[in-house]
Amino acid sequence: MFFILSKILLFLTSPLFWWCIVLLIAFYGRSSKTRKRFRFIAVTLFLFFTNTFIFLEFERMWEIPGTKISSIKKKYDAGIVLSGMAIYDNHLQRLNIKEGTDRIWHAITLYKKGIIGKIIITGKDGTITDQGLNEAMQFRNDLVSWGIPAKDILVENKSRNTYENALYTKQLLEKHPELQSFLLITSANHMRRSRACFKKQGVSFDTFSTNVHNSPKRYWNADHILIPSFTTFVQWNNLTKEWTGYIMYKLTGKI
């Protein structure tokens, strides 16, 4: 029930959803005064949410900064890779990757460099209805086909959200007491919520953020400041999803 309710709440808190509501009122409001007012609001919201510079400033405050691989001196027993980075094409019988798939690429690099000894992939399917995607198993099979030994890949294939990622990964780790040190690998804007969930489960780890949108130094890009980007509007949905998810988890004691 929590899983379904969380999906509904995430939809209702999406900036794109509320912008569409404002747009409907702007064109179909009862009075011309109301329509005029909401047209102004719609334009203002559009300019705000499509401004890449503004988005990156908010994202900067939320992201957990990345780490240079060359600066990592410690060796870890395993890297924990959170899923939610692919869609399975049942017709073609293969994964179609989404934004954030560099999680798995970086995990491979860290493994090849000997920084992590094993790769743990956590996550089944984050959809309300089962779409036939067991993401962790699909990536596990791909990693094996790319030459990584099956013995060095562990899979948690029950979780549907970040809380369950942490819960079921903890249960998996209890079956492998030989694994004691971990590197948590996920997107920079997802890391804050993920970190809190794994800490709540009592897992000790260091973080390795991927898909980092910001660097410590700001780059004043004229395109980001002056040219609206609808892609940025969509990225706001991902950021507000993290804000909403973090608050929900906090209120329900999951972090």
* The predicted structure's pLDDT at residue 129: 47
Strand partners, 186: 209
Q: How far apart (Å, rounded) are the C-alpha atoms in residues 244 and 238?
A: 10
Q: Which residue has the higher pLDDT, 137 or 40?
A: 40
CA 7 to chain centre: 14
Looking at 3.30.450.20, 3.40.50.150, 3.40.50.620, 3.40.190.10, the CATH number of the domain 69-210 comes to 3.40.50.620
pLDDT at 200 over 90: yes
Average pLDDT over residues 195-205: 97
* 209 in Cβ contact with 194 (< 8 Å): no
Which two structure tokens, joined as six digits, stand for 141?
A: 């099979």
What's the pTM? 0.89
Q: Which amino acid is at 112?
A: K
For the chain, what percentages of helix, strand and coil (3-state, to nearest 5) are there? Answer: 55, 15, 35
Write out pLDDT tens, residues 170-185.
Answer: 999 999 999 999 999 9
Write down the domain spans for the chain: 2-63+228-251, 69-210
CA distance 79 to 104: 10
